[in-house]
Chain A
Amino acid sequence: MDQLIFASEVMLNGLMTGVMYALVALGFVLIFKASGVFNYAQGVLALFAALTLVGIQNGQVPFAHLINAAFGTSLHHFGWTVPSVLAIALTALVMVGLAFLIEKLVLQHLVGQEPIILFMATIGMAYFLEGLGDVMWGADIKTLDVGLPQGISESIETVTDSWFGYGYFIDRLDIWATVIAALLVAALVAFAQYTKQGRAMRAVADDHQAALSVGISLRFIWVMVWSIAGFVALVAGIMWGTKSGVQFSLSLIALKALPVLMLGGFTSIPGAIVGGLIIGVGEKLFEFSIGPMVGGATENWFAYVLALLFLVFRPQGLFGERIIERV
């Protein structure tokens, strides 16, 4: 019985982690649906957004490190702090600017190339953005605090204690993340279904040529989609950054989103969420039950191997469209 309760706690925590994965995966799906680009840089976008947010909040001088090295000055901070809401809005603006630049400088020149070339281009972009983020804001680990509640939720602990005789440990941040992710998904779905721009976006996703011929501007849609993906990255960056500090490992969660997508299907928003939850719960339960027998740290590869096995039986994922070329 104790084991069972333990396992259920592990599962709940896995669900929360899964929500985080789903947040990153969501950004992937949006871009993949609209432009057919498999955006490896999504995780680095999250890192970049989080770095920028912290930098703006603390009033850091951008490129201070570089300027100091080049001109022998010793700049570091402007000496003011920006309130969280304003900082988030400014960061969102930066992400929109970034989306515009990416479209202008990279995607526009790669129209009609093979998907794998585009994929490799996004890997290059990921490297560039990672370097840029570090040069702009410094590479040290930063703490991010935008006022989200953190720590163990005592009320849940006492309530579950009185019900089952065992108090569940659940981070309040995780609960908030779940709520925010749910709101974000609802907003995105509503946007795609009920607004003009959202319908245009879906049209582009369906067929570029047809969308062009009815007068939809591809370039505008792409900038918009990348901006939305940047915004989703910002949300993911805030969540992960608050949870474990803003640091390089943040960009590695993007890799975790890949198996999430394979499980859920590349083109499906519900798929990204369900896939994220499955991976989150699966890797936590695996680590809990099998991990101690094989030396632990199975979380590093479990998701990939699960996705690999899954691919063999259902290559289109749980919710994906059956358009994958099989060999």
Chain B
Amino acid sequence: MLYREAGDFKTSYRDDSQTFPIKLERWGYYAVVAVAFGIVPFVINDYWASAVLVPFLIYAIAAIGLNVLTGYAGQVSLGTGGFMAVGAYAVYKLMTAFPDVSLLIHVVLAGAITAVVGVLFGLPSLRIKGFYLAVATLAAQFFLVWLFNKVPWFYNYSASGQITAPTRTFMEQAISGPAASASAKYLVCLVFAFLVAWMARNLTRGSIGRRWMAIRDMDIAAEIIGVNPLTAKLSAFAVSSFFIGIAGALLFSVYLGAAEVGEAFGINKSFLVLFMIIIGGLGSIFGSFAGAAFLVLLPVLLKNLLVGNLGWPTDLAAHIELMIVGALIVTFLIVEPHGLARLWSLTKEKLRLWPFPH
């Protein structure tokens, strides 16, 4: 009844091509943004911030990054963990080298550095694709982790080989280090997630996004209609790595506070983000958020249910979680390869006709 186009008149092309064409949806989106910025920061507590909301936002950024590359441009990457490590170590070096510059600027710079590294490792994509490219990105994953482990300059010669985020402030509020409050951490991540989602959405519906999708759907045809594969692929790698670098930088500086590269940015992180976009939906910004929310919440829920309510040991719960995630991936690929985002849009289609489907 409420969710429909009728009566929602569009008098310009601008109106016609907006992201949320239906009024109810538009207002829903504004409401979510208003709640996220206006209400949640005041009611958030430490548990919710560190267990759910902050990791959700950070992984959503990473998932958007990988979705640009895999979902939109069709280049499968298993190097996400390695690129996040680049972001984390870049922000660490910047934070310690220029302590007076704002952390927010450093995070963006770390994203830019990651973009350069991403383009470098994206170069093979000009010759190979499919699994071959996936294995090439594995080279990035293992090489980068090894590099950050073995070259002491990257971790400032600290004895433990770990990197630890110093406290940095923004408008008198600590946003990194142990002194940062839950709401400050949340707000920093929210601002970045919002900006990244907004950028990604507008990039992907513009000419550059169409070029990526053309390459994804059929590269030879794309080339014939005038898409340059070189610039299209490398720009996808650059944008994707930029976002992933931001996610890595935030994960280390705001969320973890201290990180050891093999543990925090290993191959499992690459798979985690890949699973997020498979479950959420390939080629969808909403899907990136949905997938990140799902895979951040699932362990928390399972832990509460199995360990908290039933009193099972934690390692058993962790193994059962592996099984569930694996089974879900296979199920989604069989039943709904476009993920939660597709289910959501099907629901919306139904809702548009409701309650008079004929």
Please list the residues of chain A having a beta carbon within 8 angstroms of any beta carbon in chain B. 38, 65-66, 69-70, 105-106, 109-110, 113, 115-117, 119-121, 123-132, 134-135, 139, 252, 255, 258-259, 262, 266, 294-298, 300-301, 304-305, 307-308, 311-312, 315, 324-327
Contact = CB atoms under 8 A, between A and B. Distances in A.
B101 interface: no
B322 A131 contact: yes
Contact of B146 (A69, A300, A324): A300
B130 A139 contact: no
Given A300-B142, A311-B124, A126 B334 contact: no
Contacts of A304: 135-136, 138-139, 142-143
Contacts of B130: 115-116, 325
B139 A308 contact: yes
Contact of A308 (B131, B136, B267): B136
Contacts of B219: 327
Nearest to B149: A297
Given A66-B316, A127-B271, A135-B319, 15 more contacts: A109-B334, A117-B333, A119-B131, A120-B274, A121-B329, A124-B333, A125-B326, A127-B323, A129-B326, A131-B324, A295-B151, A300-B145, A304-B139, A325-B130, A327-B127
B204 to A, nearest CB: 20
Given A120-B333, A258-B135, A304-B143, A326 B323 contact: no
A93 B136 CA distance: 36
A301 B139 contact: yes
B354 interface: no
A138 to B, nearest CB: 9
A65 B316 contact: yes
Interface in B309-347: 310-313, 315-316, 319-330, 333-334, 337
A120 B329 contact: yes
Contacts of B316: 65-66, 69, 135
Contacts of B274: 120, 123
B278 A128 contact: no
A113 B330 CA distance: 13
Nearest to B135: A258
B326 A294 contact: no
A126 B329 CA distance: 10
B256 interface: no
Contact of A119 (B134, B136, B138, B320): B134
Contact of B326 (A105, A131, A252, A298): A131
B303 to A, nearest CB: 14
A301 B142 contact: yes
B126 to A, nearest CB: 6
Given A123-B271, A255-B138, A304-B142, A134 B132 contact: no
Nearest to A72: B311
Interface residues of B, number: 50
A135 B323 contact: yes
B248 to A, nearest CB: 19
A103 to B, nearest CB: 13
23 contacts: A38-B131, A69-B311, A69-B312, A116-B130, A117-B337, A123-B271, A124-B333, A125-B330, A126-B326, A127-B323, A128-B322, A130-B322, A134-B319, A135-B319, A296-B150, A301-B146, A304-B135, A304-B138, A307-B135, A308-B139, A312-B124, A325-B130, A327-B125
Interface string B157-175: 0000000000000000000
A189 to B, nearest CB: 25
B132 A315 contact: yes
A262 B135 contact: yes
Contact of A124 (B134, B321, B327): B327
Best-buried of B130, B139, B325, B329 by chain A (most CB within 10 Å): B139
B23 to A, nearest CB: 36
Given A295-B150, A307-B135, A315 B329 contact: no
Nearest to A66: B316
A36 to B, nearest CB: 11
B33 interface: no
Given A119-B131, A127-B325, A295-B151, A135 B320 contact: yes
Contacts of B205: none
B323 A298 contact: no
Contact of A315 (B128, B313, B320): B128
A97 B105 CA distance: 56
